[in-house]
Copies of this chain bind each other. A is one copy, B any other.
Amino acid sequence: MDNDGKKKCTVRFEPSGLGIQVPVGTVLLDAAHKAGIYLNSICGGDGYCGKCKVTIDEGQFQSRPTTLLTPQEIRENVVLACQTKVLSDMRATVPKSHALEASQILMDTDAGRFSELAGDVRAAIFKFDPLVQKIFVEMSPPTVHDHTADHERLYLAIRQKIDAPIMQTGFRVLQRLSRLLQSCNYKATVTIGRRGRTTEVIEVEPGDRSKRNFAVAVDLGTTTVVAHLLDLTNATTLDREATYNSQINFGEDYIRRIIYAEENNAFDEMQSRIVQDVNSLIVTLAARQKVDLHEITTVICAGNTAMIHFLLNLDPRRIRREPYVASAGFVPPIRAAEVGIQINRRGLLYCLPGVAAYVGSDIVAGVLTTRIFTRKGIYLFADIGTNGEVVLGNRDWMVCASSSAGPAFEGSGVKHGMRAGAGAIEKVAILDGGLVELKTIGDTPPVGICGSGLLDTLAELFTNGIIDRTGRFKTDGQPGLTRGEEGWQFQLAPAGNGHHEIVITQADIDNLVRSKAGVFAAIRVLMESTQTRPEDLDAVYLAGGFGNFLNVRQAVTIGMLPDVPQEKIQFVGNTSIAGAKTVLLSRKALETAEKIAQSMTYFDLMSHPGYMDEFTRARFLPHTDLSLFPSVTQRATHRV
């Protein structure tokens, strides 16, 4: 019995064995969240996505009726966790398809596979001048003939080493300064951080500790949070790690999460979730690299606008409703401790600047990384994540837009979709007769399909004539097609040694087509508005967590990217973290990022008169207007 006099019962989740005590009547999805178990849930618990299936092994429960379970599932005690109340002690099994319990997450592969452009870009255009530095200064102690005060003495010493016309010292540092300098005979290590054009003395330590200065760069994705640990003394990346964004329990896209937070006044919890994710990444990296948390002086984040708002607990409500504005696009550096990030107590948290409610700092990082802002000609950048953001331009102008067509290419909203982790199918080829060739990440038995695998699958189904231009299965005896519980489906891998059958369903294809249509429509709006023809494009950059073996050609085949020669398309991986690292390592790059964010013109697609038409036209494979995809038409013709 708890304080309210409610009876409690214990719910244990298999196979992790994690358990939790909850009052009788608790919704099973909430119990799972409290136990720290990840369950897929796109709709955030509204009962219409059908993703949060679990099997009740023991115990009493009460479920609302749903059409999202098959009779077979109902017989096997499979329930939707969000529609089920716990009535007694219970044992429930989380199907492996969720594959996402915290304990099972092994994301280093994922984190490691992203391209890192930071190095090149930095070398090419930015001077190594990190946002936070440690400087060893040796001052001569004061004498009766040299009565400069300690504080000014320190400034003089710092200014002999670096350019710092405007300086500021934290009050607590100032209070301790004099005793500290005396204790180390005026040989001290100064940690300085850049805030705008002000140089702040963050910390003064005795002796030479200048060789121990570390930072963490973070890509705050809606689905995945990636962190890299850097040595700021030599600009090297020491390690990388990733984890699922544990806000996922409140909805798979950020609009859902904003609604959830608003309805439940859960903004603080949203913040604490993402901060916890960041902290756990930092702790993991620090432990592995034998770095003391105190030696981590900087955290830098890039992410979409909503994620930055959640992290800082800024009001995100009008991101999802008119007039669709952010509380802040530019965020000043603050102490990481102010939001609960556990690094050096006085260490700084920087966020890259964003452009608008739907074009965040991850996109600015992408522009920085791909150097569009320095180039002549015309360049296209598309970042396919939970949303699809698109930038078009060059050093003179840049336009951008965001398509909210859904996270299908991140593996969400797809029956066997998953992130690019171990066991994900990342490469698919359909041979004659419906035979399928697969490659999985880590070459393990397949667990699901990640972005590059989904792209391949859609393109291969189309070019092999298994689906038609509307994306419907041609059910006239195509090889590989079977009827599953949800209708027709194409089998990529049969059930086998330790893994279940992996299929792609009609609903999956519809989701994928909708996603690609959203991206392409956004591209079209930008190109039409700037009178850019496909042949004007000097290069197309595709970013996202697809998987390493992305066949960029396939992105044209399905009509997601405009029809340009394959050699003009470059897969650039996670440019969000690459850009964050560039900024971390060069103050000039931060200023540049701010200029980029300021100079980009944002097209709001929701209010754009042409967008819906473009979207509708793009819901064909590759497009309603085949003249836009001559190379695809040519190949398809050739094949048939």
Complex contact A328–B166 (CB within 8 A): no
Query: Which of chain B's residues have a CB closer than 8 A to the CB of A196?
Result: 166-168, 198
Which residue of the partner chain B has the closest CB to A315? B178
A588 within 8 A of B: no
B151 contacts A330, CB within 8 Å? yes
Establish whether residues A328 and B174, one from each chain, have CB atoms under 8 Å apart when the complex forms: yes
Q: Are B197 and A147 in contact (CB under 8 A)?
A: no
* Cβ contact within 8 Å between A145 and B607: yes
Instruction: Kindly name the residue among A150, A327, A335, A606 whose own CB sees the greatest number of chain B CB atoms within 10 A.
Output: A327
Q: Does A143 count as interface, using CB distance less than 8 angstroms?
A: yes
- Report copies per complex: 2
Contact for A315 among B143, B179, B312, B335, CB less than 8 A: B179
Name which residue of chain B comes closest to A602, CB basis. B147
Nearest-neighbour CB distance to chain B for A172, whole angstroms, equals: 9
A332 to B167, CA, bound (A): 9
In the assembled complex, which residues on chain B have CB atoms less than 8 Å from the CB atom of A606?
144
A357 at the interface (CB under 8 A from B): yes
Q: Given that A142-B325, A196-B198 are known contacts, is A332 also in contact with B147, CB under 8 Å in the complex?
A: no
B325 lies within 8 A of A150 (CB): yes
Query: Within the complex, what minimum Cβ distance (angstroms) separates A555 from chain B?
Result: 29
Known: A195-B168, A196-B168. A147 touches B357 (CB 8 A): yes
**Given known contacts A144-B606, A315-B179, is B171 in contact with A334 (CB within 8 Å)?**
yes
State whether B328 touches A177 (Cβ < 8 A).
Answer: yes
Instruction: Spot the interface stretch: A65-73, A119-127, A316-324, A562-570.
Output: A316-324
Check B195–A329 contact: CB distance below 8 A.
no
Pairwise interchain contact B326-A150, C-beta atoms closer than 8 A:
yes
**A144 and B198 contact, CB distance less than 8 A:** no
Judge if A616 is at the interface, Cβ distance under 8 Å.
no
> A166-192, CB under 8 A of B: which get 1 and which 0?
111101001101110000000000000
Q: Does A2 contact B (CB under 8 A)?
A: no
**A residues 189-208 touching B (CB-CB < 8 Å):** 195-198
CA distance A197 to B197 in the complex (A): 8
| A10 interfacial contact with B, CB 8 Å | no
B195 near A332 (CB under 8 angstroms)?
no
The answer to whether B166 touches A197 (Cβ under 8 A) is: yes
Nearest CB of B to A631, in Å: 37
Q: Complex: how many Å from CA A327 to CA B148?
A: 9
A97 within 8 A of partner (CB): no
A338 CB–B CB distance under 8 Å: yes
**Closest chain B CB from A366 CB (angstroms):** 19
Q: Which residue in chain B gives the minimum CB-CB distance to A201?
A: B332
Name the CB-closest residue of B to A314: B175
Task: From known contacts A324-B144, A327-B177, infer whether A332 and B169 are also in contact, taking CB-CB under 8 Å.
Answer: yes
Q: Is A331 an interface residue (CB 8 A)?
A: yes
Does A504 have its Cβ within 8 Å of any Cβ on chain B? no
A313 part of interface (Cβ distance < 8 Å): yes
Q: Is A4 an interface residue (CB 8 A)?
A: no
In the assembled complex, A486 has its CB within 8 A of some CB on chain B: no
Is the CB–CB distance between A144 and B313 below 8 Å?
Answer: no
User: Are B178 and A147 closer than 8 Å at their CB atoms?
Assistant: no
CB proximity of A8 to chain B, nearest CB, Å? 36
B356:A152 contact, CB within 8 angstroms: no
Q: B356 contacts A147, CB within 8 Å? A: yes
Q: Does A1 contact B (CB under 8 A)?
A: no
Indicate whether A162 reaches chain B with its CB closer than 8 angstroms. no
Give the distance in Å from the alpha carbon of A318 to the alpha carbon of B141 in the complex. 12
Complex Cα spacing A174 to B328, Å: 8
When chains A and B are docked, how far (Å) is the Cα of A263 from the Cα of B357?
59
Residues 519 to 548 of chain A near chain B (Cβ within 8 Å): none
How many whole Å from A408's CB to the nearest CB in chain B?
A: 27
Whether B331 pairs with A174 at a CB distance below 8 angstroms is yes
- Closest B residue, CB atoms, query A329: B149
Judge whether A604 is part of the interface by a CB distance below 8 angstroms. yes
- How far in angstroms is the closest Cβ of chain B from A284? 27
In the complex, how many angstroms separate the beta carbon of A270 from the nearest chain B beta carbon?
A: 13
A252 to B608, CA, bound (A): 76
Question: Contact at B323–A178, with CB atoms within 8 Å?
Answer: no
Task: List, in ascending order, chain B residues with CB within 8 A of A149's CB.
Answer: 325-330, 354, 356-357
How far is it, in angstroms, between the C-alpha of A326 and the C-alpha of B326 when the chains are bound?
A: 47
A603 to B421, CA, bound (A): 71
| Contact in complex: A327, B178 (CB < 8 Å) | yes
Q: Please name the residue on chain B nearest to A339 by beta carbon.
A: B171
- Please give, as numbers and ranges, the residues of chain B lying within 8 Å of A146 by CB-CB distance: 323
Which residues of B are found within 8 Å of A607, using beta-carbon distances? 144-145
In the complex, what distance in Å separates the CA atom of A356 from the CA atom of B326?
49
A-B contacts, 29 of them at CB < 8 A, read A144-B323, A144-B606, A144-B607, A145-B607, A148-B325, A148-B329, A149-B326, A149-B329, A149-B354, A149-B357, A151-B326, A151-B327, A151-B330, A152-B329, A166-B196, A168-B196, A168-B332, A171-B334, A171-B338, A174-B312, A174-B327, A174-B328, A174-B332, A177-B314, A177-B327, A177-B328, A178-B327, A179-B315, A197-B197
7 extra A-B contacts, CB within 8 A, seeds A149-B325, A175-B314, A178-B315: A144-B323, A145-B604, A147-B324, A150-B327, A166-B196, A177-B328, A198-B198
**Which 9 A-B pairs rank lowest in CB-CB distance, beginning with the nearest?**
A151-B328, A178-B327, A178-B315, A149-B326, A149-B329, A142-B325, A171-B334, A142-B323, A144-B607
